[in-house]
């Protein structure tokens, strides 16, 4: 099975400019293929990850990935589908974002094979206004540009000339990469179809109709309920571990619905068809074991954050489920309890009843606190406490930074020591 057949099986092909020509090309030789990303932020989220997972598949199939960080295009902004103009960033912010995205790409693509990261600022910034208009603007028909879906959707509310010309700049990128980096395929999301076809049209006008260049887009990924994939209850799921911890990242994937998990295994893992088919059977016959979800979480977390992050995420998950939080490290507490109820407490030792009522407000009254303690419903740092005279000393555990309280079977609280 070649790369295109595999992508079709995974449901990862939306549109192709020329299926037969593209199929012939990828079967003949190693080919250059590029995906671009504008530095509108300093981290990708999992929605951004989709085309780069496909690019990684091409890399593993022996092809040559080229990643374009849009330092030039990102400084002006592409027309979004949000019916409004993007807010222009300062060049200092653009450069900061470029560096952060480059580091993420190197982590994803730098482990098994040659790849390139380039910045379109390097060539776009050298174009004068007259060069742009004479050499490129003359080759684009305004009527055709207006009919591109992303532009047409903005005509009612208006679009600036700056964003209107974005498709020309992206087309110049494709031409530059064709000439200088041996790139013949551009890959992008479904919303990039208009920009991609503008690029293939430009190359054919400049280099001739026999130039072998192709465009390929990926479908918009939707959940089984019809909503857009990519966000959790807390918002975007980021690749930056400072924005979304590896534990939170792992939890996002392990909590996917049975109706979606096989689709995501096809998109986001490099498991074979046979392996995914076996997991699909288990979803149907033993859904309570959630083996497909666990495998999805392991594979994607390892790809983005590495094997140690998977071990840590699994350790935190097991500890929270079993209640054995005493085995967690201080760093693991930071990850696992990031979104749990928390309070600030003094570092001074205090009687447990006073601490639960006065210092943390975990218990509403001393009577209730004593009752819960004597009934064995209170655990401090994983240890069941049944003595109402017990003294809590925050310095005893987790480097003196945290005290973990569990009330009942599942109710956790985190006390952060001031």
What's the pLDDT tens digit per position in 30-71? 999 999 999 989 999 998 899 999 999 999 999 999 999 999
- Domain at 231-322, CATH class: mainly alpha
- Say if residues 384 and 376 touch (Cβ distance below 8 Å): yes
pLDDT band (50, 70, 90) for residue 196: very high
User: 203 phi and psi, to 5 degrees?
Assistant: -60, -40
Judge if 3-218 and 342-417 fold alike in CATH terms.
Answer: no
3-state SS class at 399: helix
Where do the domains of the chain lie? 3-218, 231-322, 342-417
C-alpha 207/C-alpha 194 separation (Å) is 20
Mean pLDDT of the chain: 91
Residues 367-390, mean pLDDT to the nearest whole number = 94
Q: Which residues are annotated as a binding site?
A: 34, 166, 170, 231
The arrangement of strands across the sheet holding 402-407 comes to 342-345, 411-417, 402-407, 378-380, 383-384
> Looking at the predicted structure, is the pLDDT value of residue 386 above 60?
yes
Q: Which residues are annotated as a binding site for L-tyrosine?
A: 34, 166, 170
Instruction: Check residues 348 and 82 and name the one with the higher pLDDT.
Output: 348
**Looking at residue 229, what is its pLDDT?**
83
C-alpha 30/C-alpha 62 separation (Å) is 6
3-state SS class at 364: coil
> Looking at the predicted structure, is the pLDDT value of residue 111 above 60?
no
> Looking at the predicted structure, is the pLDDT value of residue 153 above 80?
no
C-alpha 87/C-alpha 75 separation (Å) is 10
Query: What six digits make up the tokens of 154?
Result: 């903005």
Name residues whose C-beta falls within 8 Å of residue 63's C-beta, 6 or more positions apart in sequence: 3, 26, 30, 31, 32, 33
pLDDT band (50, 70, 90) for residue 292: very high
Which residues does residue 216 pair with via DSSP β-bridges, in sequence order? Answer: 16, 187
Query: What six digits make up the tokens of 137?
Result: 């603007």
Tell me if the domain spanning 3-218 has CATH number 3.30.1300.10: no
Range with top average pLDDT, 151-155, 161-165, 253-257: 253-257
Picking from 43, 37, 399, 106, the residue whose alpha carbon sits closest to that of residue 242 is: 43
What's the pLDDT tens digit per position in 68-85? 999 988 887 767 655 566
What's the pLDDT tens digit per position in 197-248? 999 999 999 999 999 999 999 998 888 888 888 766 668 899 999 999 999 9
Range with top average pLDDT, 10-24, 139-153, 219-233: 10-24
| CATH superfamily placement of domain 342-417 | RNA-binding S4 domain (3.10.290.10)
Q: Which residues are annotated as a binding site for ATP?
A: 231
Q: Return the minimum-mean-pLDDT range out of 89-103, 138-152, 159-173, 316-330.
A: 138-152
């Amino acid at each position: 099975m070649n790369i295109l057949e595999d992508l079709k099986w995974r449901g990862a092909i939306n549109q192709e400019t020329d299926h037969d020509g593209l199929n012939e090309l990828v079967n003949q030789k190693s080919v250059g293929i590029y995906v671009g990303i504008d530095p509108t932020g300093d981290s990708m989220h999992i929605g951004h990850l989709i085309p780069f997972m496909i690019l990684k598949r091409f890399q593993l199939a022996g092809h040559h990935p080229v990643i374009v960080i849009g330092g030039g295009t990102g400084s002006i902004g592409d027309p979004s589908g949000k019916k409004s103009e993007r807010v222009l960033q300062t060049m200092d912010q653009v450069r900061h974002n470029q560096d952060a995205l480059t580091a993420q790409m190197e982590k994803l693509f730098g482990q098994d094979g040659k790849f390139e990261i380039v910045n379109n600022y390097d060539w776009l910034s050298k174009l004068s206004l007259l060069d742009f208009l004479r050499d490129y603007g003359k080759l684009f028909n305004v009527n055709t540009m207006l009919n591109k879906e992303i532009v047409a959707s903005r005509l009612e509310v208006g679009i600036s000339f700056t964003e209107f010309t974005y498709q020309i700049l992206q087309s110049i990128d494709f031409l530059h990469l064709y000439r200088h980096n041996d790139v013949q395929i551009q890959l992008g999301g479904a919303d990039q179809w208009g920009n991609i076809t503008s690029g293939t049209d430009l190359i054919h006008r400049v280099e001739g109709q026999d130039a072998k260049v192709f465009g390929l887009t990926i479908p918009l990924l939707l959940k089984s309920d019809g909503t857009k994939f990519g966000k959790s209850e807390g918002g975007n799921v980021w690749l930056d571990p400072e924005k979304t911890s590896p534990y939170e990242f792992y939890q996002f994937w392990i909590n996917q619905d049975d109706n979606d998990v096989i689709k995501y295994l096809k998109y986001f893992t490099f498991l074979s068809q046979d392996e995914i088919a076996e997991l699909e059977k288990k979803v149907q016959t033993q859904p309570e074991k959630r083996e497909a979800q666990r495998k999805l979480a392991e594979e994607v977390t390892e790809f983005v954050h590495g094997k140690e992050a998977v071990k840590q995420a699994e350790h935190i998950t097991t500890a929270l489920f079993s209640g054995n939080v005493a085995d967690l490290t201080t760093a693991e507490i930071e990850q696992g309890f990031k979104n749990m109820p928390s309070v600030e407490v003094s570092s001074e030792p205090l009687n447990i009843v006073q601490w639960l009522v006065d210092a943390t407000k975990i218990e509403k009254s001393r009577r209730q606190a004593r009752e819960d303690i004597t009934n064995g419903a209170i655990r401090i740092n994983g240890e069941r406490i049944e003595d109402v005279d017990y003294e809590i000393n925050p310095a005893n555990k987790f480097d003196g930074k945290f005290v973990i309280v569990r009330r009942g079977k599942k109710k956790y609280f985190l006390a952060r020591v001031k």
